[in-house]
Amino acid sequence: ATWGYGNDNGPATWVKSFPVAAGTRQSPIDIVPTAAKCDTKLTENPLTVNYSPEPAMELCNPGLSVKANIKSKSVIKGGPLEGEYKLEQFHLHWGSADKQGSEHTLNGKMFPAELHLVHYNATKYSSFGEAVDKPDGLAVFGIFLKISDKPHQGLKSLTDVLSEVQYKDKSINIKQEYNPVCLLPDNINKYWTYLGSLTTPPLCESVTWIVFEEPIEVSEDQMKAFRALCCGECGSAPIVDNYRPPLPLGNRQLRASFQ
Ligand SMILES: NS(=O)(=O)c1ccc(CCNC(=O)Nc2ccc(Cl)cc2)cc1
Ligand SMILES: [Zn+2]
């Protein structure tokens, strides 16, 4: 039985095939800003993003989300990171309704969706596959989505074509030069960071999470476009509620880049 987000294969069942699900550095977590330690080391060494345009970005529906695979050299460094991390892919998690959908929560509050930009430690490892199970292998940007009456222009290039990847294993190329930098919030200097894991199987405890305080704003129509994606072929269930609920922070330190 493959894992998923249904009643008989969802997050509560994953520990059977992936025992690390019961580990001590699992993600997501509930972010409690008052419990975060403001760390000036994070501000002294600002997070820097050097993304470049993708000539023909591949957008696909692997069946549980929508994912864009990155080929060009887009890198990040600084903040909590040692070395340079290279963007590999980005994807989203979303709900069946606006009241749920994000993986990280903020003081117990869920957002309608969460965008993940997945990077691997290109200074130490030669590929994503090599880095995926190393404690310093990955860095993922978590960006909350909130509803506004205006569509998000950066996401519009994707939401406008989601109908072309409605079914599992469909993929298309976004023609025009797409620079993923358009997906970041305006202020990337305010974030929380902690050591965690992949939020889906194989749940490797290899992720330095960087969750931005500022959400990006999307329209209800854009959320509807994500909820129209299908898990399988025509007639299959919509992809919704593809989020793992938060796990205990345990002995981990949640750090903040701001007061
Ligand atoms: N959600 S994460 O950033 O911690 C994460 C990053 C990378 C991987 C390895 C590649 N696999 C992948 O991206 N799988 C995936 C993603 C979203 C959904 Cl909804 C379902 C499956 C897994 C999790
Ligand atoms: Zn994710």
Q: What is the pLDDT of residue 201?
A: 98
Nearest partner of 133 among 125, 142, 123, judged by Cα:
125
Return the structure tokens found at 227.
Answer: 């909820």
Q: Which residues of 46-55 are buried (b: 16+ CB within 10 A; e: fewer)?
A: ebebebeebe
> Distance from the CA of 91 to the center of ligand 2, in angstroms?
6
Q: Is 197 in the pocket of ligand 1 (CB under 6 A)?
A: no
Split at pLDDT 50, 70, 90, the class of 258 is very high
Q: What is the pLDDT of residue 115?
A: 99
User: What's the pLDDT tens digit per position in 189-246?
Assistant: 999 999 999 999 999 999 999 999 999 999 999 999 999 999 999 989 999 999 999 9
How many Å apart are CA 105 and CA 142, to the nearest integer?
11
Residue the block writes with tokens 């994807």:
91
Backbone φ, ψ for residue 105 (5° rounding): -125, 160
For residue 198, which atom of ligand 1 is closest to its CA?
4
Average pLDDT over residues 163-184: 96
Q: Is 118 in the pocket of ligand 1 (CB under 6 A)?
A: yes
Split at pLDDT 50, 70, 90, the class of 131 is very high
Query: What DSSP designation does 55 have?
Result: T
Residue nearest ligand 1's atom 4 by CA: 198
- Measured between alpha carbons, how far is residue 170 from residues 91, 159, 194 in Å? 15, 15, 34
User: What's the pLDDT tens digit per position in 66-117?
Assistant: 999 999 999 999 999 999 999 999 999 999 999 999 999 999 999 999 999 9
Return the structure tokens found at 52.
Answer: 């470049």
Residue nearest ligand 1's atom 14 by CA: 200
How many Å apart are CA 243 and CA 113, to the nearest integer?
9
How many Å apart are CA 145 and CA 223, to the nearest integer?
10
Give strand pairing partners of 255.
37, 193
Split at pLDDT 50, 70, 90, the class of 124 is very high
Q: Tell me the three state secondary structure of residue 121.
A: strand
Residue 78: count of CB within 10 angstroms of its CB: 14
Q: What is the pLDDT of residue 175?
A: 77
Backbone φ, ψ for residue 183 (5° rounding): -90, -15
Residue nearest ligand 1's atom 9 by CA: 198
- Measured between alpha carbons, how far is residue 64 from residues 94, 118, 210, 227, 240 in Å? 11, 16, 23, 11, 8
Q: What is the pLDDT of residue 172?
A: 97
> Distance from the CA of 223 to the center of ligand 2, in angstroms?
16
Q: What is the pLDDT of residue 176?
A: 86
> Distance from the CA of 89 to the center of ligand 1, in angstroms?
9
CA angle 125, 86, 167 (to 5 degrees): 110
Mutation pick for ligand 1 pocket among 18, 197, 198 (CB with most ligand atoms within 8 Å): 198
The single-letter code of the amino acid at 91 is: H
- Decide if 231 contacts 63 (C-beta within 8 A): yes
Return the structure tokens found at 98.
Answer: 């606006």
User: What's the pLDDT tens digit per position in 6-51?
Assistant: 999 999 999 999 999 999 999 999 999 999 999 999 989 999 999 9
Nearest partner of 229 among 69, 98, 54, 93, judged by Cα:
93
